[in-house]
Structure 1
């Protein structure tokens, strides 16, 4: 079997696959080296350390999620775009759990400044333009949307909604209804909130 030449891209992709298989916390340089069939020191020519490897996974996940969000919100605005945005997150968290975990951490500068991060910010801005929010309020709306979606998905992932009816899907729809309603009336509500 021909071995793929080592590059940072190959190493990060293998680490992301390991994260999906075994959990984000299982990702170490030695574990990735074993999967690639090389000695751990071989990786240091391409990846500085574990922190850089984890940031690489985060940057990859941001790019992948941005691609999915772009497709989900294309040609949509308002509630339809919000639904696409949220559903893209939910599908990604279920399909790529380790990559999703990489987005639930304080990322380093490499990940924060990556092309995927810039694309994701631009897509979030596009979503908010459909709600006609004042420019100064968009950061707050972004934080609300991110907190709500990520919080729900984190609880869903660990099974917190499995113990009582109704199904999590019912709550998910109600949460998106509430977010949409709040975003539609944000300008009016923003005037009542002390700065």
Structure 2
């Protein structure tokens, strides 16, 4: 059987699959090389180093998340758009846990400057246009949304909500509605 030639995309795709299966901490150059059936030095023609490999996983994850958010918020505004944004993040975190972890690390400059990064910012801004929030305040709101959504998902991921009632879905819904209430009353200064 002939093995497909290695490319940067195939190496990163394998790293992303490993991250989802075993966690981002399992993604090493040697682990990816073993999965691809090659020696570790073979990967250096396709990824510069471990940081570049992780940035590649982050870039793939960001592109995946952006596509989900775009679909979830299309044609919606206000609470329905906010729910779409939040649910897209939550579904992504549940279905692609290693890729989600890759978005919880400091990304390199190529990821930050990527089309997907610009798109997710634009999509978030589109959701915020459904509220009466001045453009100069949107960075604060974006930070609050990211902190709330990712904080909840991080706690849910490690099982922090498994030991008490009500079901975490109830708290999640209440959190999104509370964010909507806050956004509708956002102070202008």
TM class, shorter-length:
over 0.9
Per-residue Cα deviation, 1:98-134 (whole angstroms, up to 9, x for no partner): 0000011111111111121111111111111111310
SS of match in other structure, 2:160: coil
Q: Distance in 2 between matches of 1:115 and 1:60?
A: 11
Segments of structure 2 that go 5 or more residues without pairing to the other structure are none
Structure 2 match to 1:190: 188
Structure 2 match to 1:154: 154
Q: Distance in 1 between matches of 2:60 and 2:114?
A: 9
Task: Name segments (4+ residues, structure 1) moved above 4 Å.
Answer: none
CA RMSD of aligned residues (A): 0.8
- Quick check: 2:133–2:188 contact (8 Å CA) kept in 1? no
SS of match in other structure, 1:190: coil
Q: Distance in 1 between matches of 2:28 and 2:8?
A: 14
Q: Distance in 2 between matches of 1:117 and 1:66?
A: 8
Q: Distance in 2 between matches of 1:113 and 1:40?
A: 28
Q: Distance in 1 between matches of 2:113 and 2:82?
A: 25
Q: Distance in 2 between matches of 1:73 and 1:135?
A: 19
Q: Does residue 49 of structure 1 match 2:35?
A: no
Q: Distance in 2 between matches of 1:185 and 1:62?
A: 30
Per-residue Cα deviation, 1:60-101 (whole angstroms, up to 9, x for no partner): 100000000000000001100000000000000000000000
Taking structure 1 as the reference length, the TM-score comes to 0.95
Structure 1 match to 2:7: 7
Segments of structure 1 that go 5 or more residues without pairing to the other structure are none
Q: Does residue 86 of structure 1 match 2:86?
A: yes
SS of match in other structure, 2:87: helix
Taking structure 2 as the reference length, the TM-score comes to 0.98
CA offset at residue 35 of structure 1?
Answer: 0.5
